[in-house]
Chains A and B, each alone.
Chain A
Amino acid sequence: MPQRRIAIYGKGGIGKSSTASNVAAACADEGYKVMIIGCDPKSDSSITLLGGRRIPTILDLLRQKVDIDEQAIVHEGYKGVKCVEVGGPEPGIGCAGRGIIVAIQKLRQMCKTIDDMDLIIYDVPGDIVCGGFVAPIRKGLVSEAYILTSGEYMPLYAANNICRGLVKIDTQLSGIICNSRIVTREEEIVRKFSEEIGSKLMAFIPKEQIVQDCERDGFSVVEKAADSSVADIYRELAIAIMSNEDSVMPSALKDERLRELTR
């Protein structure tokens, strides 16, 4: 089985880290070897796989000017999921984009186990504000992109823009994931959007309090509430991702069409 290297894009705050860690946990349950690489300076992608524990980030260690090896930056979480956090400078200081470039280089240099993984998830920041933020893709590390959105206008607007960006950086879209915000006709809107850009809707994740409750305790819902219906949905999504063969170059919608769709 070829290694899958995916990135999940989407508007900030839409639930990328939640989705990434639940997919990671679900894939680990299925017996896959999974690594999650948090590329957000906030460095909270893997926190729910580690029982709420924060791990030292690559950039934290680089800042201390210590020699780094794999043990120092790769930490095992739920069911052996390998967790890595890139980290970043303090907000407003230095250059977070360069930080990602440097950290990714360090990771590739230091991490031998990366080649053994079945699935690597890059949890990237919502806004690709500069060159550094596309480093995982540019450096040939990501082979498939997913976009997370709700049925609201602004997240869809962001998703549509991301489609344009993907074309620009020559990266295929493998599917849309809907993280519900309880909007009228939400699933229908997002499905329609997915189809019109040439892709497909991978999953509709309902908004449920239990996801929040588990996260507050420092766990993924797949781990803490394995029997819940939303955990089932994450598991289905995980399986769909691991068997997905339908990557396309998306064609972004015109703004008028997008507005029409959400009305």
Chain B
Amino acid sequence: MMISKGIKGITMTENDISIIHPRPSSIVAALYTLRDLNVDVAILHGPPGCSFKHARLLEEDGIHVVTTALDENGFVFGGRDELSSLLQKANEMFKPKLVGVVGTCASMIIGEELHEPVMDANLEVPVIEVEVHAGYPNNTKGVLMALESACEVGVIDEQELRRQRSLLEEATNVEMSHGAASREYLAPSRGDVKYKVAEKVYNLLKEGKSCLTIMNAKKETGYMFADITIAINEVAAELGMQGNVINMANIDACVGLPRVRQHATNISNDIRKKNVTIHEIIGGMDEYPIAGDKVTKLIDEKYKEFDFAVISGVPHAIPMDHLGNMQVISVTNGPRQVLPLKEMGHEHVIVEIDLHPKTLGVDSIVESEFGATLREVAKDMMKNKRKVV
């Protein structure tokens, strides 16, 4: 980073790139964080269309999302009364135990305060106020603001806040070095054809190559990424090669917010039911930004000689340090992630399109496209083999 000292006390940073593809929204990030904190209702204070798509998805995930629906008049006259009466209405309708209120660009620009209407509404349950807009370059800001406010009202403690803060910093670093924040513009891509890659994985397993599966998933996305680990193990078992597969996954159920721990428990149970062993737990489901170090260390100690690795979830958080000698296949749900992953040296990159919506509102593993493709490819290949015999 180029740093030049300008005016006394001012540090100029010159490497800031201006990213021109749309970025994840801090408002939405705050909403998802409120969900992880188990609020029953999240109130968006702003225009009715703000965060529409995610609000809908979050309803699928079991929380109520409502809006003060500020209109042109609301922008001009403010919406203090609208917010306090909506708080009361939501309280009557949903009988929540915990409520979140989230700002939007419009309400924050006109200087709306969330605290006063919350006081006016005078609910008996705690209200987490997040004065956020979508103008922050890193959406982790929205997460952090929600967590800080949650800490203020006693929903989480200082220790968890500190833990989350350092995870978020790492998450931002990961995005800036190898993620969607790594360059000015990244075109979305569908990645490599799943059928071709599935064929390759099948053949590698059949040839008796040793395989490392690394699931490094962000929270609920693990419900689908875990299916890839399972599919590989199923195919390996059918080929009599299960002993060649070592599985790593970030499904430690002892860390993170309650909801995130529950995901880890659910996923662990499902994996066990499929007779798949996770040999190495590489962290909790919110520790995807820091699991890379652990993976690197484990590979260095035990798995250096492996032939290939299939990394799913947030593959760009796993350093290539000791993966250099392996063929790396990665599975992401970010269409803008394909190019950076290829540049890291991944031979194949697969995109699970629209993964996230399919992992909301579920409490057990859901089938992935790549997992399904691999299973079908294996079925066909084995059928053909029998025909030949």
> Which A residues are in CB contact (< 8 Å) with B20?
none
> Which B residues are in CB contact (< 8 Å) with A130?
110-111
The complex places the Cα of A65 from the Cα of B137 at a distance, in Å, of: 13
Q: How far is the CB of B376 from chain A (nearest CB, A)?
A: 52
B111 & A132 in contact (Cβ 8 Å cutoff): yes
> Which A residues are in CB contact (< 8 Å) with B8?
71-72
Given known pairs A56-B7, A97-B111, A98-B111, the reply for A131 and B12 (CB within 8 Å) is no
> Which B residues are in CB contact (< 8 Å) with A71?
8-9
B111 & A131 in contact (Cβ 8 Å cutoff): yes
The complex places the Cα of A69 from the Cα of B12 at a distance, in Å, of: 12
A72 & B111 in contact (Cβ 8 Å cutoff): no
> Which A residues are in CB contact (< 8 Å) with B148?
none
Does chain B have a CB within 8 A of A70? yes
A98 & B7 in contact (Cβ 8 Å cutoff): no
Give a binary string over A72-103; 1 marks a CB under 8 Å from any B CB, 0 the rest.
10000000000000000000000101100100
> Which B residues are in CB contact (< 8 Å) with A131?
78, 110-112
Q: How far is the CB of A109 from chain B (nearest CB, A)?
A: 13
> Which B residues are in CB contact (< 8 Å) with A138?
111, 113, 116
**Closest residue of chain B to A105, judged by CB?**
B131
Q: How far is the CB of B76 from chain A (nearest CB, A)?
A: 9
Within 8 A of A (CB), among B70-86: 78
B110 & A72 in contact (Cβ 8 Å cutoff): no
> Which A residues are in CB contact (< 8 Å) with B108?
98, 101
> Which A residues are in CB contact (< 8 Å) with B93?
none
**Closest residue of chain B to A56, judged by CB?**
B7
Does chain B have a CB within 8 A of A66? yes
Q: How far is the CB of B74 from chain A (nearest CB, A)?
A: 12
Does chain B have a CB within 8 A of A260? no
The complex places the Cα of A71 from the Cα of B9 at a distance, in Å, of: 5
Does chain A have a CB within 8 A of B13? yes
Q: How far is the CB of A17 from chain B (nearest CB, A)?
A: 23
**Closest residue of chain B to A73, judged by CB?**
B9
A67 & B12 in contact (Cβ 8 Å cutoff): yes
B111 & A67 in contact (Cβ 8 Å cutoff): no
Q: How far is the CB of A85 from chain B (nearest CB, A)?
A: 15
Give a binary string over A111-142; 1 marks a CB under 8 Å from any B CB, 0 the rest.
00000000000000000001111110010000
> Which B residues are in CB contact (< 8 Å) with A69?
9-11
Name the one of A61, A95, A134, A135 contacting B10, with C-beta atoms under 8 angstroms: A61
B78 & A72 in contact (Cβ 8 Å cutoff): no
On chain A, which size bracket covers the interface?
Answer: 20 to 34
The complex places the Cα of A27 from the Cα of B109 at a distance, in Å, of: 36
The complex places the Cα of A131 from the Cα of B112 at a distance, in Å, of: 7
The complex places the Cα of A224 from the Cα of B262 at a distance, in Å, of: 70
The complex places the Cα of A70 from the Cα of B8 at a distance, in Å, of: 10
B113 & A72 in contact (Cβ 8 Å cutoff): no
A66 & B12 in contact (Cβ 8 Å cutoff): yes
Does chain A have a CB within 8 A of B6? yes
> Which A residues are in CB contact (< 8 Å) with B7?
56, 66, 72
Q: How far is the CB of A16 from chain B (nearest CB, A)?
A: 21
> Which A residues are in CB contact (< 8 Å) with B112?
131
The complex places the Cα of A115 from the Cα of B312 at a distance, in Å, of: 49
Q: How far is the CB of A251 from chain B (nearest CB, A)?
A: 22
Does chain B have a CB within 8 A of A68? yes
Give a binary string over B88-113; 1 marks a CB under 8 Å from any A CB, 0 the rest.
00000000000000000000111111
The complex places the Cα of A168 from the Cα of B13 at a distance, in Å, of: 43
> Which B residues are in CB contact (< 8 Å) with A98?
108-109, 111
The complex places the Cα of A138 from the Cα of B13 at a distance, in Å, of: 33
**Closest residue of chain B to A74, judged by CB?**
B9
Q: How far is the CB of A115 from chain B (nearest CB, A)?
A: 19
> Which B residues are in CB contact (< 8 Å) with A97?
109-111
Does chain A have a CB within 8 A of B354? no
**Closest residue of chain B to A169, judged by CB?**
B116
The complex places the Cα of A130 from the Cα of B108 at a distance, in Å, of: 12
Does chain A have a CB within 8 A of B343? no
> Which B residues are in CB contact (< 8 Å) with A68?
9-10
A67 & B10 in contact (Cβ 8 Å cutoff): yes
Name the one of B10, B13, B109 contacting A72, with C-beta atoms under 8 angstroms: B10
Give a binary string over B1-18; 1 marks a CB under 8 Å from any A CB, 0 the rest.
000001111111100100
**Closest residue of chain B to A72, judged by CB?**
B9
**Closest residue of chain A to B6, judged by CB?**
A66
Within 8 A of A (CB), among B38-61: none
Top 7 A-B pairs, shortest CB-CB distance: A131-B111, A71-B9, A72-B9, A67-B11, A132-B111, A66-B10, A69-B9
* Interchain Cβ contacts under 8 Å between A and B, 26 examples: A56-B7, A61-B10, A66-B6, A66-B7, A66-B12, A67-B12, A67-B13, A68-B9, A68-B10, A69-B9, A69-B10, A69-B11, A72-B10, A97-B109, A97-B110, A97-B111, A98-B108, A101-B108, A130-B110, A131-B78, A131-B110, A133-B111, A134-B111, A135-B111, A138-B113, A138-B116
A→B interface (CB under 8 Å): 56, 61, 65-72, 95, 97-98, 101, 130-135, 138
B→A interface (CB under 8 Å): 6-13, 16, 78, 108-113, 116
Additional A-B contacts beyond A72-B8, A97-B111 (17; CB < 8 A): A65-B16, A66-B6, A66-B10, A69-B9, A70-B9, A71-B8, A71-B9, A72-B10, A98-B111, A131-B110, A131-B111, A131-B112, A132-B110, A133-B111, A138-B111, A138-B113, A138-B116
